[in-house]
Structure formats: C-alpha cells, structure tokens
Amino acid sequence: MATASPEVIIKAQRLAIRGRVQGVGYRDAAVQAAFELGIRGWVRNRQDGSVEALAQGEPDAVDAFASWCRRGPPLARVAEVTLVDAAVDTSLRAFETRPTG
C-alpha cells in the first residue's frame, strides 16, 4: 500500500521595503539571500525610492527572508518593511531581479 506524501505548504508574501534601500546593493543581496533560503520570487526598485519583493516558499524560509529584508545589506538603512500575503505564483522557478516598477 502506497502512502501519500505530505502536502508541501507554500507561503507567498509581497514586501515593500522603505529607507535607504536603492543604490546600496539591496536587490543583488536579496537575490543571494533568497537563493540561500531556497525561495522563489523577484525583487525590484520602485520609482518612489523603495524596493518591492515577492517571496514564496516554505513558510519558515519566507519568514527568514522577511527578517533579512528588515536588515538588508550593510550599506542599507531599512526604515520599514510592510508585508502582505499574496497568491502563490506557480510559474516562478527562481528568485530574480525585475525592472523598476
């Protein structure tokens, strides 16, 4: 008798990161952090000077990414991170940088 494999739970969150987060390597560092955590999604600069990201994966990994976003890379000065639950995007295969939105 075959046993059913446990259902994988995927969490998706959209993050808005404000502060000194552009021109400090934030996006490249976010891609590296996401790779290390095994999450999928994207990151991009916003025209208002903030950074936006979509992160999805195992709940603990997404939570760890949100914690990383609150610190950012060494030159960043994060003032605020707003989290909003998002729909899972099954088309995402990696974590990438996207054009400014």
3-state SS record for the chain: CCCCCCCCCCEEEEEEEEEECCCCCHHHHHHHHHHHHCCEEEEEECCCCCEEEEEEECHHHHHHHHHHHHHCCCCCEEEEEEEEECCCCCCCCCEEECCCC
Task: Tell whether the model's pLDDT for residue 51 goes beyond 80.
Answer: yes
Section 72-80 average pLDDT? 97
Please identify every residue annotated as catalytic: 27, 45
Band of the pLDDT at 2, cuts 50, 70, 90? Answer: low
Domains of the chain: 25-88 (3.30.70.100)
pLDDT at 9: 83
The model's pTM is 0.91
Band of the pLDDT at 24, cuts 50, 70, 90? Answer: very high
Task: Tell whether the model's pLDDT for residue 34 goes beyond 70.
Answer: yes
